[in-house]
Amino acid sequence: MTEYQIHRHMTGGVRLVARKRMSTARTINRTLRPKRLIIPMTQQLGPPATPSVVPGQRVITGQPVGEPGRAPSAAAHAPRSGKVLAVEERLVPGGSQLLKSQCVVLAVDDKSTDADIEPASEWPNLDADRIQAIRNAGIVGLGGAAFPTADKLGATERCGTLILNGAECEPYISCDDMLMREHATDILRGTQTMLDLLGAERCLLGIERDKPVAIESMAAAIADLGDARIRLAAVTSKYPAGGERQLIELLTGMEVPSGKYPIAAGCVCQNVGTAYAVGRLVRLGEPLTTRIVSVTGEGVAEPQNVEVSIGTPIRELIEHCGGYVGDVPRLILGGTMMGYAVSSDELPVTKATNCVIAVHSDEIRDRYEEWPCIRCGDCADVCPARLLPQDLLPRSRTYDFDQLKILGLNDCIECGCCDVVCPSHIPLTAYFRDAKRAQRLHEQHQHLADTSQIRYLRKQERLRLQDEQSELHHTELKAQVAKDSGSRQETIQAALDRVQRRRNSDDRIT
Amino acid sequence: MPFELKPAPHITPPTSVPLVMRRLLYALVPAAIAHTWYFGWGLCINLAIAVCAALAAEALVLRFRRRAIRPGIADMSAVVTAVLLAFALPPLAPWWLPALGAASAIVLAKHLYGGLGSNLFNPAMVGYVILLISFPIEMTQWLTPAELAPAADRLGLWAQLTYSVTGQLPFDLSLDALTQATPLDQIKEGLGEMRTLNEIQIGPLFGSYGGRGWEWINGWIALGGFYLLYCGVIRWHIPVSLLAAMLSFATFMYAVDPSRYPSPGFHLFSGAALLGAFFIATDPVTAAGTNGGRLIYGAAIGILTYAIRTWGSYPEGLAFAVLLMNAAVPLLDRYTRPRIYGRA
């Protein structure tokens, strides 16, 4: 198989110390047996699933506990057998922040007779049924954004290229790397299914060059499979090469239009973990109940990749990896560039959790000082969206939304590159996230104000019309009255005349 | 146990503002040594006075503005301004010249606009131009390069210090004996007297390319510039476009009439062309902020510098060229924005 030729270089980006090796020394650990599971109903970008179990009920492995909501949504399943303790609202990790979600809390009993395992579902023959099966299996994008896979595959726009994302550009994370090393065949099986469902001509698999073992393993599997549609491309190990838009730019030379999904450029992007989940569904009929999570950082005793049941509390996961070592001031979900710090390890692992970093206090130097922006422009050099962060910054501070729109605040992918090169140590990404939030609020208010104004104007118009009509009515009435009174006068006059005439004639008689 | 909440990314940048400023200072060390070699201790005295005055002015203004003083001093930006100004001053100068220049650079050019990062004009050049316009005599007395001066006419550290503080020279020396015009000055005057370049340039002040002594100092400045490029403190766009524009203009005029227009090599190695290209025009705060803008900005400074040197009333035009283009930066930035990803 020949290596796919890269079309062009990526705009911007930074080379970072990857720190992935600490978690790739061991093979994927599959022995974690959690005692308790917290299964959130919101594990996808879209409406939550509806809980379909009640407290006290016993569930078996693989049994659905949440029905998919209105599209785009996905189902939730019990990864292990056990008893439902509660169905309650809790704080759970979302794609980029914590959010409130209904959760099914499970006390695991881990009985594993046949009666305790949901029978495998049959892989249907029709495309529409297959997409429904993927939705019912609760499969979402496992790269971090957790967009329901069924809705991506079922889109009506034409897709020419399936981009399979195995770049994994963020520091520390290695779950996709390990998956590609150990499960290349299942990944490709899922990829073929997705290609068929999309009707796409080709699949380009992008892997960063710093993962030679994964590249070799995938290349061998592709050669074995002999599917000419699937081609492998080793891409530069430069963050954020694994960003959806950046990978499409790297592999196809096309740019996704501003504010649109990749499908607008004829591409659909799927993570290798998602392809693996689809592959398992096709081969074994299994719903998505586990995922691979990198547990890493200097603050954990045995950093490694673990196959984790969805809903496992992070604390149990860390304990499984030997627990914390030393002073661990920070816990990060995701990588060090886009992941977010959480205050508690009681939170569950969700479908979007690709990495848990226990940060040792020696590991991260904190920014103590911040200097004013000296407009050096290093941020603009590394921005993959070709924005000018030095110009966005003052306008983000003052919420100058008109200028921010022109300067492309909404094209910012919040990758954090500008932050890590800023000599003034300004938390640029935090400013931009805040400005985006403020902009959304502002737009909501603007929308409210606009709709109220329209309502007000309509009312004014209505009142005016009403007035006009009543005026008209009034004049008509007046005219009527005038007319009526005129005719009455005539009648009276006629009667008077008659009387007068009679009188006159009476006079003559007498 | 509760963990701390900090926003992403969780990586601290490897550089910092003080580091950038320190690198600028390191890059000027060889040129400072060469300057001292050719013109005596004057530069060192001026440096010391300018740095002290700049730091004092910075601290004072920060106090008036009710800002923290320590970080403002520790970021080294005031020191860099003072050092660049001192390089532009004549070595034999009364103490109040560097002091006044540095103070006005910090107060007028920097803090009146809002302090570090907010100033529109390059502070060192504002300080220089204020001095040049206000004290033209003091600003044009340059020492004769050491190798040309007879041993008796060389001033020691003590004599220069005495002059700087009291304005008194040792009894057996006069200012006229010690000082001369700069090479650029001499050319301007000579051409004004309708002499040809060949006649002017046989004078002892002229070396193989530029002024004697000057060509070596400028060589070391260029080396410092390469160090800055290597460290990534500056980008290539401004120095390359500035020098290329100036040299091609100079080459064209030289080809037209070599008896009236000095060679491009002379323009490169005399005056402040290299200091300006690598250290002054590249000041990030006041330079253009996009690569397209930087190319235009640099080229315009190169052309303006040559034009002022050749047809203006001042022998050196870099400071004016930089200030003029500083004013054009907002416009350049506005019209050279790169195309955003995914936009037409």
Question: Where do the structural domains in chain A lie, given as residue ranges?
Answer: 21-111+123-320, 373-510
CA dihedral A307, A313, A318, A323 (to 10 degrees): -140
Residues 225-264, chain B, touching A (beta carbon < 8 A): 232, 235
pLDDT of residue B160: 79
In whole angstroms, give the CA distance from residue A119 to residue A106: 20
Confidence class for position A510, pLDDT limits 50, 70, 90: low
Q: A306: which residues sit within 8 A by CB, 6+ positions away?
A: A28, A29, A30, A32, A292, A293, A295, A317, A320, A321
pLDDT of residue B315: 80
Of all residues in chain B, the one with the smallest CA distance to A380 is B290
pLDDT of residue B163: 79
Mean pLDDT of B15-44: 92
Residues of B in contact with A423 (CB under 8 A): 13, 15-17, 19-20
- Range list of H helices, A261-398: 272-284, 314-320, 378-382, 389-397
The beta-carbon neighbor of A342 closest among B3, B77, B287 is: B3
Mean pLDDT of B32-52: 91
Class of domain A21-111+123-320: alpha beta
| Terminal Cα distance for chain B, rounded | 50
The CATH number of the structural domain formed by A373-510 is 1.10.1060
β-pairing, A304-309 vs A267-271, is: unpaired
Q: Is B85 helix (H, G, I), strand (E, B) or coil?
A: helix
* Cα angle B270-B274-B278, degrees, rounded to a multiple of 5: 165
- Which tokens go with B271? 């005056």
In whole angstroms, give the CA distance from residue B336 to residue B288: 9
pTM of the complete model: 0.88
Residue B170's identity, in one-letter code, is: P
Mean pLDDT of B40-59: 94
Interface test with B, best of A376, A411, A414, A422 (most B CBs within 10 A): A376
Shortest CA distance to A91 belongs to which of A78, A82, A83, A100? A100
Confidence class for position A1, pLDDT limits 50, 70, 90: very low
In whole angstroms, give the CA distance from residue A104 to residue A53: 8
Q: Is B233 helix (H, G, I), strand (E, B) or coil?
A: coil
DSSP secondary structure string for all residues of A388-414: -HHHHHHHHHTT-HHHHHHHTGGG---
pLDDT of residue A167: 93
Angle between the A184-198 and A272-284 helix axes, to the nearest 10 degrees? 90
DSSP type of residue A59: E
Residues of A in contact with B118 (CB under 8 A): 372
**Torsions phi, psi of A202, nearest 5?**
-145, 160
In whole angstroms, give the CA distance from residue B215 to residue B184: 12
Peptide linkage before A72 cis (omega within 30 of 0): yes
A309 in Cβ contact with A80 (< 8 Å): yes
For the ranges A71-85, B163-177, B270-284, which has the lowest average pLDDT? Answer: B163-177
pLDDT of residue B187: 78
Residues of A in contact with B287 (CB under 8 A): 375
In whole angstroms, give the CA distance from residue B167 to residue A436: 61
Confidence class for position B331, pLDDT limits 50, 70, 90: very high
Residues of B in contact with A328 (CB under 8 A): 3
Mean pLDDT of A336-342: 93
For the ranges A5-19, A221-235, A392-406, B6-20, which has the lowest average pLDDT? Answer: A5-19
A330 in Cβ contact with B4 (< 8 Å): yes
In whole angstroms, give the CA distance from residue A496 to residue A67: 91
Shortest CA distance to B216 belongs to which of B80, B342, B36? B36
Mean pLDDT of A19-30: 92
Residue B51 burial (10 A CB sphere; 0-12, 13-18, 19+): buried
In whole angstroms, give the CA distance from residue A270 to residue A296: 24
Q: B235: which residues sit within 8 A by CB, 6+ positions away?
A: A377, B229, B282, B291, B294
Shortest CA distance to B159 belongs to which of B229, B92, B61, B112? B92
Rounded to whole angstroms, what are the CA distances from A202 to A180, A423, B194? 19, 43, 77
Determine what percent of chain B is predicted with pLDDT higher than 70.
92
Do residue B10 and residue A384 have CB atoms under 8 angstroms apart?
no
CA A323 to chain centre: 31
pLDDT of residue A95: 75
Mean pLDDT of B30-45: 90
The beta-carbon neighbor of B285 closest among A249, A374, A391 is: A374
pLDDT of residue B154: 66
